[in-house]
Each structure stands twice: as structure tokens, then as C-alpha cells.
């Protein structure tokens, strides 16, 4: 049985290694990740994870694993920041506030059965000064990250409270992922 990681994220590969799993291959799906009008963040992240899993061709004996992470600030979805201005805007919005980091994991087993789990982690940032935001933007860590920050880097120092899955905020909740892989028959190391 071969595990296929439907993600180009090196963080997801590193997190899988914590479970003793190395993907047999990596296939980054190319899908439209635009939220639908008035789509709730939970529905959005589950839809995108499933779409990523379905977008990767599965050969006999392969198991597909896909995930998606987004930040929900109230009803707003803060997706991946694609430039410094977006990182700055997102950090200013998160400053001194609680938000939800939602990560959906989807597995398609070797028979084609799909299973999914959602991790919801509450994260509270300390109030950030303009200088702190400028320094974080300058380091470049927030680019390509949901909500404009990487908790496994310098932004961890902004977190005054976290309830839920730290690995889920990084991009792959290990508790949920482990359960899905075991249900799909993937041996763990």
C-alpha cells in the first residue's frame, strides 16, 4: 500500500514523519481554492480538502491524503497571503483577537472510500504593534500561509492562548490524521 500526499507542503511531509509515515509519492493538486459566496469557513475547508484528494489520480493500492487549512476570523475566511500587504492586513486584523484555525484532512483509501475529519483550534494573538507587524512581514514567513502567519516560526511568539491542535495550525492535525490513516489501513511507524 502506497500513501500519496496530495500536497506540496514540506510542513505536511514533516508532520507525517512524526507518525512514522513517508509518502510513496507527492502530487500537488491544482484546484480553484476560491471560497463560494457566503460559504462558512468550516464548509469551505472541508470542501477544499476533499477536492484536493479527488484531484489526484489514485492507482491500485494507493491511499490519498489531502488537507487544507484556513483561518476564520468571525465569518471572514483568511486564506493564504500572497503578498506583503496581505500579510500586514491579516496580522493587523488578528492583533489582540481570537480566531479559529480550521484544518480539514481527507483520506481516500485503496477501495475509493473517502473519510474526512476537521480540526478546529482556537488561537489568540497578543496585541501587535506596528513595529512587530513590520518585522514579521520583513521576515517573509507569512507568505503563502493561511492568515498570513506560520505558528512554527516567529509568529509563535504572538500566541497568548491556544486550545486545540498545534500540529493542526501548522497544517496537519496529527490526532485526526492518525485515525484516518489507520482506518484506511496505512501502517504507521
H or E, element range at 100 = strand 98-108
Q: What is the DSSP string of 54-68?
A: HHS---TTEEEEEEE
Q: What pLDDT, on a 0 to 100 scale, did the predictor assign at position 8?
A: 85
- pLDDT at residue number 189: 79
pLDDT for the residue numbered 1: 81
CB of 63 within 8 A of CB of 27?
no
Q: Return the pLDDT at 65.
A: 98
Q: Tens of pLDDT along 23-70?
A: 999 999 999 999 999 999 999 999 999 999 999 999 999 999 999 999
pLDDT at 163: 98
Active-site amino acid positions: 68
Sketch out the chain's domains with CATH numbers: 2-183 (3.90.950.10)
Instruction: Report, as ranges of residue numbers, the positions in the chain whose pLDDT lies below 70.
Output: none
- 147: which residues sit within 8 A by CB, 6+ positions away? 70, 71, 73, 78, 81, 90, 94, 99, 101
Specify whether the CB–CB gap between 68 and 8 falls below 8 A.
Answer: no
E strand or H helix at 44: helix 41-55
Q: β-strand 62-73 against 98-108: which pairing, if any?
A: antiparallel
- Angstrom distance (rounded) from CA 142 to CA 88: 9
Please name the residue that has the C-alpha cell 487549512: 69
Amino acid at each position: 500500500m502506497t500513501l500519496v500526499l496530495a500536497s506540496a507542503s514540506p510542513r505536511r511531509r514533516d508532520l507525517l514523519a512524526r507518525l512514522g509515515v513517508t509518502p510513496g509519492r507527492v502530487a500537488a493538486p491544482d484546484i480553484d481554492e476560491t471560497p463560494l459566496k457566503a460559504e462558512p469557513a468550516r464548509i469551505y475547508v472541508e470542501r477544499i480538502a476533499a477536492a484536493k484528494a479527488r484531484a489526484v489520480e489514485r492507482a491500485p493500492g494507493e491511499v490519498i491524503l489531502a488537507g487544507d487549512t484556513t483561518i476564520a476570523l468571525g465569518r471572514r475566511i483568511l486564506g493564504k497571503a500572497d503578498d506583503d500587504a496581505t500579510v500586514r492586513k491579516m496580522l493587523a486584523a488578528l492583533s489582540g483577537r481570537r480566531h479559529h484555525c480550521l484544518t480539514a484532512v481527507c483520506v481516500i483509501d485503496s477501495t475509493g472510500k473517502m473519510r474526512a475529519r476537521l480540526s478546529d483550534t482556537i488561537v489568540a494573538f497578543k496585541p501587535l504593534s506596528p513595529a512587530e507587524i513590520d518585522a514579521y512581514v520583513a521576515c517573509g514567513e507569512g507568505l503563502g500561509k493561511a492568515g498570513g502567519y506560520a505558528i512554527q516560526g516567529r509568529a509563535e511568539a504572538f500566541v497568548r492562548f491556544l486550545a486545540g491542535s498545534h500540529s493542526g495550525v501548522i497544517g496537519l492535525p496529527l490526532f485526526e490524521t492518525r485515525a484516518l490513516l489507520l482506518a484506511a489501513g496505512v501502517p504507521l511507524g
